[in-house]
Copies of this chain bind each other. A is one copy, B any other.
Amino acid sequence: MWDVAEELKAMLVFAEHRYYGESLPFGADSFKDSRHLNFLTSEQALADFAELIKHLRRTIPGVEDQPVIAIGGSYGGMLAAWFRMKYPHAVVGALAASAPIWQFEDLVPCDTFMKIVTTDFRRSGPNCAESIRRSWDAINRLSVAGSGLQWLTQTLHLCDPLTLEDIPRFKEWISETWVNLAMMDYPYESSFMQPLPAWPIKVVCQYLKNPNVSDLLLLQNIFQALNVYYNYSGQAKCLNISETATSNLGILGWSYQACTEMVMPFCANGIDDMFEPFLWNLKQFSDECFSQWGVRPRPSWIITQYGGKNISSHSNIVFSNGDLDPWSGGGVTKDISATLVAITIAEGAHHLDLRANSAYDPASVLRARSLEVQHMKQWIRDFHSHARRQR
């Protein structure tokens, strides 16, 4: 983005979403109860951006009549797309990178996400996905065997002793690790959720070449693989199954949003994917939300609000997706119209295109960035020629 801003001679503004980082509307009370969380919605965030742009126009010399482009990745990409949809007068266009705007209700099958994760592992090493698939039963067997829990605790260097009640969370933690690796499968070293080597799934898969081994050996291999994610630095004393990311990405705020608007159904069947099968259970999810936040989700609201797949009357949005990114399953990966355009990045993980230029960038992301800039320039040209006609 820095490079693109320079090329476009543009100002780059990072807006912090309310309730994230330091933007706490009620200070320390912001997460106290649902009353204080009432202002944490995507609509409110979009309204904030509209006000911010107006404020910048009023206060920064030379900015008043300049075109603005919305850019974001992941949830930020959804917001970028929705902002152009809801406030087309405020921005000439939007780049929505890895924005799963269709990961809601039944717009896409709930197992799409886990299938893409699995495909990444399948392609990154022989028997890799199969080894992972077999690990769940190995864990199940060990967890009820004599000293199995103790063995797992020691072998995986867990910070806290594993109990039988921990097992569901333990398997979830491992699953999340594979998911995060799929999102972060970048062609170079990175440190988004954890410090990682280049093409981390390939590194992980080097430990998972043989699924036909004993439970103990399989899980020793799994530990080596997990270590790529949790201990690339070699500094980790132990692994903590309540954490999958080092940095605070606003887990609390997102948890509330997931319990209100951002209801994204996920599932796995264990056949087309390498995960232990699980269903999407809205009832159970809703009950958990109610006990945690005192609210219940409105699973169809995002579609009512933002149109679901019926968005063809909008314009000037580029949706970019990496084929390696599990979120691409809920993204827009085919052109909707001449000005609602999909760009796919064959070798891209989660919003690779928004990351800084690198010597290791694959050709696919270079092409994507170049196309994105072409669209931005076109929006700006259209804006200026429209402004000229208005005079």
Contacts and interface: CB of A to CB of B under 8 A. Distances in A.
Contact of A311 (B51, B89, B304, B305): B89
Contact of A89 (B43, B47, B307, B315): B307
Contacts of A90: 304, 307
Contacts of A300: 54
Copies in the complex: 2
A235 interface: no
A212 interface: no
A4 interface: no
Contacts of A305: 47, 50, 87
A312 interface: yes
Contacts of A386: 312
B88 A313 contact: yes
Contacts of A157: none
Interface in A297-325: 300, 304-305, 307-308, 310-316
A86 interface: yes
A89 B310 contact: yes
A89 B51 contact: no
Interface string A69-98: 000000000000000001111100000000
B312 A50 contact: no
A316 B314 CA distance: 12
A80 to B, nearest CB: 16
Given A312-B386, A313-B315, A386-B312, A307 B51 contact: no
Contact of A304 (B51, B88, B310): B51
Interface residues of A, number: 23
Nearest to A92: B313
Contacts of A308: 89
Nearest to A87: B307
Nearest to A51: B304
A304 B46 CA distance: 11
A51 to B, nearest CB: 6
A4 to B, nearest CB: 23
A281 B311 CA distance: 42
A92 to B, nearest CB: 9
A48 to B, nearest CB: 11
A313 B86 contact: no
Nearest to A313: B88
A294 to B, nearest CB: 18
A308 B50 CA distance: 13
A86 B312 CA distance: 13
A354 to B, nearest CB: 25
Contacts of A86: 86
Contact of A307 (B88, B312, B315): B88
A32 to B, nearest CB: 18
A323 to B, nearest CB: 25
A40 B235 CA distance: 55
A88 B315 CA distance: 12
Q: Which 3 residue pairs spanning A and B have beta carbons closest together?
A: A89-B307, A89-B310, A88-B313
Given A47-B304, A90-B307, 5 more contacts: A50-B304, A54-B304, A86-B86, A87-B307, A89-B308
24 contacts: A43-B43, A47-B304, A47-B305, A50-B304, A50-B305, A51-B304, A54-B300, A54-B304, A86-B86, A87-B305, A87-B307, A88-B307, A88-B313, A88-B314, A89-B307, A89-B308, A89-B310, A89-B311, A89-B313, A90-B304, A90-B307, A312-B386, A313-B315, A313-B316
